[in-house]
Amino acid sequence: MKCLIADDAAHARELLWSILEDMGFDILEAADGEEAIRLAILSLPQVIVLNIGLPKKSGIEVVSTLRRQAPLQKTPIIALIAAAGQYEHTHLSQAGFSRVLVKPVNPAELRAVISEFTC
Q: Which residues bind other proteins (CB under 8 A)?
A: 9, 11-12, 14-15, 18-19, 53, 82-84, 88-90, 103-108
Provide, rounded to whole angstroms, the least separation between the CB of residue 5 and other proteins: 13
Using DSSP, state whether 14 is helix, strand or coil: helix
The amino acid occupying position 101 is L
Residue 80 has a CB neighbour count (10 Å cut-off) of: 24
Q: Which is nearer to other proteins, 42 or 84 (CB)?
A: 84
Provide, rounded to whole angstroms, the least separation between the CB of residue 85 and other proteins: 9
Q: Which is nearer to other proteins, 14 or 116 (CB)?
A: 14
Provide, rounded to whole angstroms, the least separation between the CB of residue 60 and other proteins: 16
Q: How far is CA 83 from CA 43, 46, 48, 109, in A?
A: 31, 27, 20, 16
Q: Which is nearer to other proteins, 73 or 116 (CB)?
A: 116
Q: How far is CA 54 from CA 5, 57, 68, 95, 105, in A?
A: 12, 6, 19, 15, 17
Provide, rounded to whole angstroms, the least separation between the CB of residue 36 and other proteins: 18
